[in-house]
């Protein structure tokens, strides 16, 4: 062999130019290692989905005639770390050259760069050909700016990639953003689309993973596993999303419902993040659906904004601020996560549903992640680094480049407002407006204090009181501080006391 090429668990793109021709001098290496299963405690489905996807791509490459070396989690020769295995494989193959696709996580990128530098091998790093913007594009655009507004980045990307544009370069429909039309609550109609994800039986693989001693949490249903195994299944999922759900995506993007955990979201994040799908084809499919008259512009634009805008922008924030960003905690929040983050057993119905969905499916939609779970963590003052580890472990689509800025920046305001112009903080009134969680909840959404009051209410006001010095100067939340100024001091005392009591017994809420 002349060259060993590494494929990581989130590099499952069978269309990468590497595979354009079969080269008998190239050996492709996949490895299932404890280094990657154990850096945080992971949801069972996340481990299964990645290992199953790696095994499937290895099988297909072999079937096409490529040379593949696959190190399974229970292989006696598995050294369980990336570079240890690489050294063994390269030595055995006698290859002078090593190549790898740029990892998306700083952790792995740094590890491979350092190791390669001292290895003396020929070869080097190549692009994964996945993203539309390079790692430093957002950083360059916002260079010297205190706040990095996604909207500016997004418009730039629309222009640069010719997405949803008139021939003269102006946005179709006369405006860049239809966000204001994306905020309807869902009252049961139109019906939630049928879940058309594939079914797989991964029982044997799960047995192997457990016998190898890998720890995990969450629902480990493996006999009827619902995440895609390969690109063809991901393409089917994309087609059914465009046909059945995209027409309503815009309207109900911010809605929440106990009877519809998925609503009109795409469930494509796993397939995108492990690169079974390319963001360009997903964007093109949504734009075509609008140009063919199948979906309203607000739906197509709202969806494309998530992928061409948020997803690429978040990655830019990550690369511009790593290493170091992972330690952000400007609000100095330190409380440990309550036990019910691992069980869903809380009396707050919105959290029981959202955490319950996360544990059950390794997925929760954006508003559950941001406005229910993240919002509670922010208001209560939970340790953002512990929260980051939870988010990184629990979601099927969680890889640090995308999870970290969403959790620390968008959700926890831990970077002091680089990413979000104000904290995503809301009381029970928001929860009630956007969903049906409050109905049948043990807590009363109208009450601020007292044994039955919804904890979000006192925590919401108390959060703004505790952080008044930093936040009261922010004009976007002036109304909150005007409301606080109009409250009598006895009420403020009651709020503070009640919130302190809640924060002292989070496990019991």
| Interface residue list for ligand FAD (CB under 6 A) | 265-269, 272-273, 306-307, 310-311, 314, 365-366, 369-370, 374, 391, 395, 397-398, 402-403, 406-407, 410-411
Q: For residues 338 and 465, which CB has a smaller minimum distance to ligand FAD in the complex?
A: 338
Cβ atoms of 424 and 370 closer than 8 Å: yes
Between CA 407 and CA 326 the distance in angstroms is: 10
Min dist CB 311 to ligand FAD, Å, is 4
Min dist CB 475 to ligand FAD, Å, is 24
Q: For residues 105 and 109, which CB has a smaller minimum distance to ligand FAD in the complex?
A: 105
Min dist CB 402 to ligand FAD, Å, is 4
Q: For residues 99 and 137, which CB has a smaller minimum distance to ligand FAD in the complex?
A: 137
Between CA 19 and CA 34 the distance in angstroms is: 27
Between CA 305 and CA 314 the distance in angstroms is: 12
- DSSP class of residue 133 equals S
Min dist CB 299 to ligand FAD, Å, is 11
Q: For residues 72 and 260, which CB has a smaller minimum distance to ligand FAD in the complex?
A: 260
Q: For residues 158 and 369, which CB has a smaller minimum distance to ligand FAD in the complex?
A: 369
Between CA 509 and CA 312 the distance in angstroms is: 37
CB atoms within 10 A of CB 416: 15
Between CA 265 and CA 442 the distance in angstroms is: 28
Min dist CB 85 to ligand FAD, Å, is 26
Query: Dihedral sign, CA of 365, 370, 375, 378?
Result: positive
- Whole-Å CA distances, 377 to 274, 318, 329, 348, 472: 28, 21, 13, 13, 20
Q: For residues 70 and 310, which CB has a smaller minimum distance to ligand FAD in the complex?
A: 310
Exposure of 14 by Cβ count < 10 A (0-12 exposed, 13-18 middle, 19+ buried)? middle
What DSSP string runs through 90-115?
HHHHT-SEEEEEPPSSHHHHHHHHHH
Min dist CB 358 to ligand FAD, Å, is 10
Min dist CB 363 to ligand FAD, Å, is 6
Cβ atoms of 302 and 178 closer than 8 Å: yes
Residues contacting residue 7 through CB under 8 Å, at least 6 positions apart:
28, 29, 30, 54, 57, 101
What DSSP string runs through 229-294?
-SHHHHHHHHHHIIIIIHHHHTTTTT-B-TT-SSTT----HHHHHTTSS-HHHHHHHHHHHHHTTS
Min dist CB 142 to ligand FAD, Å, is 17
Min dist CB 91 to ligand FAD, Å, is 36
Q: For residues 258 and 278, which CB has a smaller minimum distance to ligand FAD in the complex?
A: 278
Q: For residues 264 and 340, which CB has a smaller minimum distance to ligand FAD in the complex?
A: 264
Min dist CB 387 to ligand FAD, Å, is 8
Q: Which residue has the tokens 């990184």?
A: 392
Cβ atoms of 351 and 363 closer than 8 Å: no
Q: For residues 370 and 426, which CB has a smaller minimum distance to ligand FAD in the complex?
A: 370
Min dist CB 3 to ligand FAD, Å, is 32
Between CA 276 and CA 269 the distance in angstroms is: 10
H/E stretch holding 84: helix 82-93
Min dist CB 307 to ligand FAD, Å, is 5
Q: For residues 29 and 285, which CB has a smaller minimum distance to ligand FAD in the complex?
A: 285
Between CA 49 and CA 362 the distance in angstroms is: 10
Q: For residues 74 and 181, which CB has a smaller minimum distance to ligand FAD in the complex?
A: 181
Q: For residues 193 and 455, which CB has a smaller minimum distance to ligand FAD in the complex?
A: 193
Count helices and strands in the chain by DSSP H and E runs = 23, 7
């Amino acid at each position: 062999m002349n060259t060993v090429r590494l494929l990581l668990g989130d590099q499952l793109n069978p269309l990468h130019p590497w595979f354009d021709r079969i080269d008998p001098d190239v050996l492709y290496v996949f490895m299932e290692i404890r280094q990657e299963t154990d850096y945080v405690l992971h949801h069972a489905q996340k481990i299964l989905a990645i290992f199953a996807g790696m095994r499937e791509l290895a099988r297909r490459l072999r079937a096409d005639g490529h040379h593949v070396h696959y190190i399974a989690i229970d292989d006696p020769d598995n050294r369980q770390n990336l570079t240890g295995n690489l050294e063994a494989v390269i030595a055995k193959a006698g290859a002078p050259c090593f190549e790898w696709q740029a990892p998306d996580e700083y952790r792995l990128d740094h590890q491979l760069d350092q190791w390669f530098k001292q290895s003396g091998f020929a070869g080097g790093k190549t692009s994964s050909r996945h993203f539309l913007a390079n790692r430093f594009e957002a950083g360059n655009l916002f260079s010297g700016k205190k706040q990095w507004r996604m909207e500016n980045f997004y418009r730039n990307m629309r222009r640069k990639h010719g997405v949803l544009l008139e021939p003269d370069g102006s946005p179709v429909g006369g405006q860049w953003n239809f966000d204001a039309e994306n905020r309807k609550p869902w009252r049961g109609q139109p019906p939630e689309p049928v879940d058309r994800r594939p079914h797989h039986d991964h029982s044997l693989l799960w047995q192997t993973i457990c016998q190898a001693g890998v720890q995990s949490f969450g629902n480990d249903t493996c006999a009827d596993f619902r995440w895609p195994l390969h690109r063809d299944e991901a393409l089917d999922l994309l087609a059914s999303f465009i046909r059945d759900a995209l027409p309503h995506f815009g309207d109900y993007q911010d809605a929440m419902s106990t009877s519809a955990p998925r609503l009109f979201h795409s469930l494509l994040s796993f397939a995108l993040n492990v690169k079974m799908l390319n963001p360009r084809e997903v964007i093109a499919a949504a734009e075509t659906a609008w140009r063919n008259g199948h979906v309203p512009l607000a739906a197509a634009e709202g969806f494309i904004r998530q992928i061409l805008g948020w997803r690429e922008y978040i990655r830019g924030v990550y690369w511009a601020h790593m290493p170091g960003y992972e330690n952000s905690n400007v609000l100095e929040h330190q409380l440990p996560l309550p036990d019910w983050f691992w069980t869903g057993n809380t009396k707050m119905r919105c959290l029981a549903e959202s955490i319950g969905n996360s544990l059950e499916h390794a997925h929760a939609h954006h508003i559950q992640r941001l406005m229910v779970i993240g919002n509670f963590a922010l208001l209560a003052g939970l340790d953002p680094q512990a929260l980051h580890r939870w988010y990184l472990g629990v979601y099927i689509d969680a890889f640090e480049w995308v999870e970290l800025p969403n959790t620390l920046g968008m959700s926890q305001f831990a970077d002091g407002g680089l990413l979000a112009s104000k904290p995503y903080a809301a009381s029970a009134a928001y929860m009630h407006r956007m969903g049906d969680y409050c109905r049948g909840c043990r807590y009363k959404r109208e009450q601020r204090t007292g044994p039955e009051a919804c904890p979000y209410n006192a925590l919401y006001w108390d959060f703004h009181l505790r952080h008044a010095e930093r936040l009261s100067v922010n004009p976007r939340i002036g109304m909150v501080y005007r409301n606080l100024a109009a409250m009598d001091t006895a009420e403020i005392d009651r709020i503070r006391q009640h919130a302190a009591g809640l924060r002292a017994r989070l496990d019991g809420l």
